Amino acid sequence: MTAADSLPARSRIVHDQLAVAGIEGRIVILPDSARTAALAAEAIGCPVGAIANSLVLVADGDPLLVMTSGAHRVDFGVLAASIGAAEVAMAPAAVVRSATGQAIGGVAPIGHPTRLRTYIDEDLRDFTEVWTAGGTPDTVMPLSFAQLQHLTAGRVIRVA
């Protein structure tokens, strides 16, 4: 049995995509859910800004993923201007699940049925290591900023 075999099904998908991308990532199962950046940072022992929150939003009717630093909230006006959208809003839970195959609070930057258009908060560049969800609310994984950008093909923008 490998370490990946002990992961939840959604996290195994993420693990497999890391391997395909040539990244020897490790997915950590936390003792409790880490549905907020503050809870995740406390459990991991890292600054809250190093938590890369995965927000599934709807921009002009299309779902997209925004990876944002846990140190601040996304300003939808700034985000809309950054991506050229007329309207940006939080995606309903059903859209999050449909677009990612994952639940709110556990959305990884990868492991989705189809690639989502992705944007990455420029403030995440300030950290050597960022922590993202690993496919479930109680799993996380460390990545470098470069790995996050490579995995998602995300465009770096200002979100706050």
Q: Supply the pTM of this predicted model.
A: 0.93
For 39-50, letters b (16+ CB in 10 Å) and e give bbbebbebebbb
pLDDT tens-digit map of 42-78: 989 999 999 999 999 999 999 999 999 999 999 999 9
The mean per-residue pLDDT over the stretch 124-140 comes to: 95
- What does each C-alpha distance from 101 to 64, 94, 126 come to in angstroms? 14, 10, 30
Q: Count the alpha carbons within 13 Å of 110 in the hemisphere toward its beta carbon.
A: 23
What domains lie within the chain, and their CATH numbers?
3-157 (3.90.960.10)
Rounded distance between C-alpha atoms, residue 149 and residue 12, angstroms:
21
Closest CA to 65 of 79, 77, 51, 78: 79
Rounded distance between C-alpha atoms, residue 67 and residue 71, angstroms:
12
Strands 88-90 and 130-133 turn out to be unpaired
pLDDT tens-digit map of 79-128: 999 999 999 999 999 999 999 999 998 999 999 999 999 999 999 999 99
Q: Residue 1: pLDDT band by 50, 70, 90 thresholds? A: very low
Q: Are 92 and 68 in contact (CB under 8 A)?
A: no
